[in-house]
Amino acid sequence: MIRELDFRILDWIQQNCRSTVMDALMPKVTMLGQMGLLWIALALLFLMIRKYRKCGITLSFGLICSLLIGNLLLKNIVARSRPCWINTDIDMLIAIPKDYSFPSGHTLCAFIAAVIILSYDKRLGIPALLIAAAVGFSRMYLYVHFPSDVLAGMVLGVAIGIFSILLTRKLMTVYEQKRLNESAG
């Protein structure tokens, strides 16, 4: 039933959203999430800027969680075929991915990053959320993920983002308290 609904949504996107402009744009949008490179670069940049260092630490932790939970664990446990492996009649605009479909790793990373960035700076977080949504849509438009893969990536990304924020804030508070105690004693 979910697979049938997934294909209905993908077919609707193919029939109603395809255009030469979108065909040119969506591969570029999806590249924003390629291997999490944009988000890794942002984490590294944030680590170098004192004002954003805590955000960089949190983002780094969240992205590591994404790799472990999404790519190494869930993709291999669920082992879901991609829509483009099942329906080969769609003209592909990007190379067909070789790994499994569930969850969408691009979407997972993007939403982890967006939630974390939003928690530290709303002016940067809102554009990050828009990019995350665009990346998620691009994965469906490009026919490499089912809508349920993208939804799972989004939900899991928000959850891991919140978990990363709470855990790193707790650890940083403990570390700062320990430093204060050592300097006072």
Residue 140 sits in a domain whose CATH number is 1.10.606.20
**Is the pTM of the predicted complex or chain greater than 0.85?**
yes
Alpha carbon distance 157, 147 (integer Å) = 15
In single-letter form, the type of residue at position 125 comes to G
Number of domains in the chain: 1
- State the pLDDT at residue 185: 63
φ/ψ of residue 91, rounded to 5? -75, 115
Q: What is the pLDDT along the chain (185 residues), one digit of tens a residue?
A: 899 999 999 999 999 999 999 999 999 999 988 888 999 999 999 999 999 999 999 999 999 999 999 999 999 999 999 999 999 999 999 999 999 999 999 999 999 999 999 999 999 999 999 999 999 999 999 999 999 999 999 999 999 999 999 999 999 888 888 888 887 76
101 DSSP assignment: -
Q: Taking Cα atoms as reference points, which of 130, 141, 116, 93 lies closest to residue 39?
A: 116
Alpha carbon distance 175, 178 (integer Å) = 5
- State the pLDDT at residue 150: 98
- State the pLDDT at residue 180: 80
Alpha carbon distance 53, 172 (integer Å) = 11
- State the pLDDT at residue 181: 82
Q: Which domain holds residue 149?
A: 2-184
Name residues whose C-beta falls within 8 Å of residue 176's C-beta, 6 or more positions apart in sequence: none
Q: Taking Cα atoms as reference points, which of 16, 52, 30, 39 lies closest to residue 134?
A: 30
Q: What's the chain's Rg over C-alpha atoms?
A: 18
